Amino acid sequence: MRKSFGLIVLLSGALVAAGSGPAQADPVKFRIGWIAMPASRAGYLTEKPDLLHHYNQSYTVEALHFSSTPAQLTALASGELDIAQLGYSTLGAAVENAHMEDVRLIADELEDGKPGWSTTHFTVLKDSPIKTIEDLKGKVVATNGIGTGLDIALRWVLAQHHLQAKTDYTDVEVNFPNMKSALAEHKVDLISAVLPFMYDPELVKIGRTLFEQGAETGPSELLMWAARAPYIKEHRAALVDLMEDVLRMQRWYFDPANHVEAQQIAAKITKQPIESLNWVFTKGDFYRSPNGNPDLRTVANDLKMEKELGFLKGDIDVAKYADLSIVDEASTRLGKLKEE
């Protein structure tokens, strides 16, 4: 009788389990790095939850703030970050210096200097005697991190004007929110003003653009999303769901019909007056591919610039370190849009 009773219990349990359907796996938590908002999508991803059709089902997000892309590369290498914002310069560092052969570019974040769109302003004080790039000789210039895309771009531009770091000028690191005060207090002579800081009314009042990055270097892939190949393989389905939601969200923000609400959200997350954010998610903003794919030819050109400066010893086959199948599948689900 005990055997029969035990068998009945086992069968009953099996039937209950079968009736309850397949077990649901916990959603994947993506730890995604960000630097500045509203440039970094991860920082405001959850502000429009109705656009995130897969959130809390296949994935969740923990947005982690970093001051620069090299700091994110270190976190990606140590396993403290799952998706990092890398610039072209940190891709070069990942491959050549850190020997991260498994690093993969998976999506576009933003492109600086796309014709018709915004670009970084390199800014001096309005009353500064610095009138030309050559006048930076003997001066102190600031970027958000040595070896970042902005730092490489600035060094390259100055090198074209026969100015070399350390011998002809001093290059220092300043976090973006502190750039304005560093300039105003004469701690530095030139700052790299990115969005949203370049449109800060106080900076506009005291500052003058010496030159624009896009005009000097052409387009640059300033930020891209990157992950490691084994992680992509393990979580590919959730990554596609994430990118589908990210692209849906991005398209919503850039739709002129949603501009007022998008502007209100930007004011909330940046704590800036709404009247100072008319540029956000318009052509006054940085360019973002509506289909999520970075321009690998632009990345290759950026890396050549980095090599010219001596930061890279050899050429890098960019396509080898990219996996665009995720954004391709995600944009196919939504319907691909024409690129600008």
Q: Compute the distance between CA of residue 92 and CA of residue 73 in angstroms, rounded to an integer.
A: 11
- Higher-pLDDT residue of 311 and 190 is 190
- What is the C-alpha to C-alpha distance for residues 194 and 22, in angstroms, rounded to an integer? 48
- 95 and 227 belong to one structural domain: yes
Question: Does residue 211 sit in the same domain as residue 239?
Answer: no
User: How many Cβ atoms from other residues are within 10 Å of residue 220's Cβ?
Assistant: 28
Q: Are residues 94 and 236 in the same domain?
A: yes
Judge if 313 and 211 occupy the same domain: no
- Indicate the number of domains in the chain: 2
Domain carrying residue 256: 28-114+220-334
How far from chain centre, in Å, is Cα 24?
Answer: 32
Looking at the predicted structure, is the pLDDT value of residue 14 above 70?
no
206 shares its domain with 327: no
Same-domain pairing of 51 and 66: yes
Q: Both 107 and 231 in a single domain?
A: yes
- What digits encode the pLDDT tens for the residues 232-284? 999 999 999 999 999 999 999 999 999 999 999 999 998 888 988 999 999 99
pLDDT, one tens digit per residue, over 129-147 is 999 999 999 999 999 888 8
Percent of the chain exceeding pLDDT 90 equals: 78
Q: What is the strand order of the sheet 140-143 is part of?
A: 170-173, 140-143, 190-193, 121-125, 207-212
29 touches 62 (CB < 8 A): yes
**Is the residue at 153 inside a domain?**
yes
Give the integer Cα–Cα distance in Å for 82 and 32.
Answer: 6
For residues 37 and 230, give the distance between their C-alpha atoms in angstroms, rounded to a whole number: 29
pTM: 0.84
- Give backbone dihedrals phi and psi of 124, rounded to 5 degrees, phi first: -120, 170
pLDDT above 80 (res 23): no
- At residue 12, does pLDDT exceed 50? no
Both 229 and 322 in a single domain? yes
Q: What is the pLDDT of residues 167-185, one digit of tens each?
A: 999 999 999 999 999 999 9
Which whole-number Å values give the CA distances from 274 to 80, 126, 263, 264, in the listed order? 35, 25, 7, 6
Specify the pLDDT at position 147: 81
Residues shown for the chain: 340
Q: Does residue 58 lie in a domain region?
A: yes
**Domain termination residue (choose one: 202, 217, 232):** 217
Is residue 229 situated within a structural domain?
yes
Report the distance separating Cα 244 and Cα 292, nearest Å: 9
Per-residue pLDDT of 196-223, as tens digits, reads 889 888 999 999 999 999 999 999 998 9
Region 58-62: mean pLDDT is: 97
Which of 121, 161, 119 lies closest to 139 in space, CA to CA? 161
The residue among 217, 233, 268 that closes a domain is 217
Q: Are residues 239 and 306 in the same domain?
A: yes
In the listed set 217, 252, 273, which residue is the last one of a domain according to the structure? 217
Whole-angstrom Cα distance, residue 82 to residue 33? 8
Q: What is the CATH number of the domain that holds 125?
A: 3.40.190.10
The predicted pLDDT at position 67 comes to 86
> Is the domain of 198 the same as that of 226?
no
Please indicate, yes or no, if residue 6 is contained in any of the structural domains. no
**196 and 301 share a domain?**
no
Quick one: the chain helix, strand, coil %, rounded to 5?
A: 45, 20, 35
Does residue 169 share a domain with residue 151? yes
